[in-house]
Structures are given as structure tokens and as C-alpha cells.
Amino acid sequence: MRIYADRPQRRRQQIVADVLGPLWCVGMIVAGLAIRHSIRSRTTPATFVESTAGALADALADTAESISRVPLVGDALEESLQRAADAAGRLSGTGADTAASIERAGDVIGLVVIVVALAAAAYVWLRPRVLWYRAASDARAVMAFPDRDDLLSARALGTVRLPRIGGGLVAGWRAGEPAAVRALARAELDRLGLDYPPDLAGLAPAGQSPAGQGASTGRSAS
């Protein structure tokens, strides 16, 4: 199973992409986790309010219970202190809710950063590589077929950039001219960065080496 192109220029591009792609994914996962940690660390004021108000509520409740035994004014003081304890308890609950909201926000934002980054990597790096591999595997599989040139030329009509197949090649292909069919077959191999078979290599146009090491002209860089 060959996952890289035959031609050095295209193969170098693919290797660089295969190195940068995973590095991008790892880097963005680390960045997402760092963002999550940074946001979650902002809960310190809220947790301080929660703990302080909670401690105050407990202290006021204990004081209210103790002062209720004071003759004459004990009941009135207890009621006042209990209301203050309830208010402090509500404040403590607000601090806890705020801290939980900040933590959830950190989780969501960190996850969004990671998911978006991985989706971008899948679209920009992984998807073109998979599409190239499937197309190159198909092209390599038909190399031994007697109608190889016809199959490759037909594929070229739908994949090779339009300026590349202009100049009468389409008309020649429709008329079944061997030269046009072979030129389109070479163009498809150029697009994929694959070497020409020996019988096509000898027919390569000027400017390309006999081994079919011309520059890639395809739509995809992967």
C-alpha cells in the first residue's frame, strides 16, 4: 500500500502535510485544554464569595441559636440573625452557581476550540489525502488494463484543470485520436503525481522527463 506520490515534488508536499497535520491537531488540543484551564481558574472570586458567605451564614445561624436563650429580647434577636444567616446562605449559593457557570463555560469553549480545529484539519488535510489516496489507488490499479489510457483519459476530463485539457484535446478524445487519449491519460497521472508507464513515458511532451517527472498540474495538493 503506497500512500505517497511517485514524483518527488508531490511526495515532499504530502510528507510535509502529514507532519504538519498531526502537529496542528496536537497543538490545538493543547490550546483548547489551556483555554479551558484558564477560564476555569477565573472561579476564584466566586468560590471565595461562596466559602466566605457560607461561613458567615453558619456563624450567624449558630449565634441566633445561642441568643434565642436570652430572656425578653432573645426571640427578636434570633429572628433578625436568622434572616441575616438566610441572606448569607443565598449569597453563598449565588457564588457556587457563578463558579459552576464559569467552569461550564470553560469546558464548552475549550471543547469548541478543539472540535473546530480538528474539523478544519479533517477538511484541509485529511480529506484531500484520503481523496488522493483513493484516486491514486484506482489509477495504479488500472495500469495493467488494456484500456488503461481510455480509463485515465475519461477520469482526466472530470478532474484535471480545464486549461490543461484545452487546445483540442477534448475534440480529439471524442474522435478517438490516440494522441489525445494519451495526452489526457498523462494529464491525469500528472495530477496525481504518479510516474508514467514506459509506453506513455516515451510520448511525454517537451519539457517533461521520460520518467514522467513533470510538475504536478492537478487540483489537489495532497
> pLDDT tens-digit profile of 24-65?
999 999 999 999 999 998 888 888 888 888 888 888 887 777
Q: Which helix (H) or strand (E) holds 124?
A: none
DSSP 74-104: HHHHHHHHHHHHHHHHHHHHHHHHHHHHHHH
For residue 21, what pLDDT is reported? 95
- The answer to whether the CB of 33 falls within 8 A of the CB of 118 is no
For residue 74, what pLDDT band results from cuts at 50, 70 and 90? low
- Read off φ and ψ for residue 56, nearest 5 degrees: -65, -40
Share of the chain residues as helix, strand and coil, in percent rounded to the nearest 5 = 75, 0, 25
Q: Which residues contact 150 (CB under 8 A, 6 or more apart)?
A: 181
The pTM score is 0.71
- The answer to whether the CB of 110 falls within 8 A of the CB of 35 is yes
pLDDT at 208 over 90: no
For residue 210, what pLDDT is reported? 39
For residue 159, what pLDDT is reported? 87
- The answer to whether the CB of 185 falls within 8 A of the CB of 148 is yes
- Residue 207's region, left for phi above 0, alpha for psi from -120 to 50, else beta, is left
- Please enumerate, as own/partner, the contacts of 13-22 that have beta carbons within 8 Å and a separation of 24 or more: 13/221, 13/222, 14/129, 14/132, 14/222, 17/125, 17/129, 17/221, 17/222, 18/125, 18/129, 20/125, 21/121, 21/125, 21/126, 21/129
210 compared with 38, residue with greater pLDDT: 38
pLDDT at 206 over 80: no
Q: How far apart are CA 23 and CA 185, in angstroms?
A: 36
pLDDT at 211 over 90: no
Q: How far apart are CA 60 and CA 84, in angstroms?
A: 7
Q: Which helix (H) or strand (E) holds 19?
A: helix 8-40
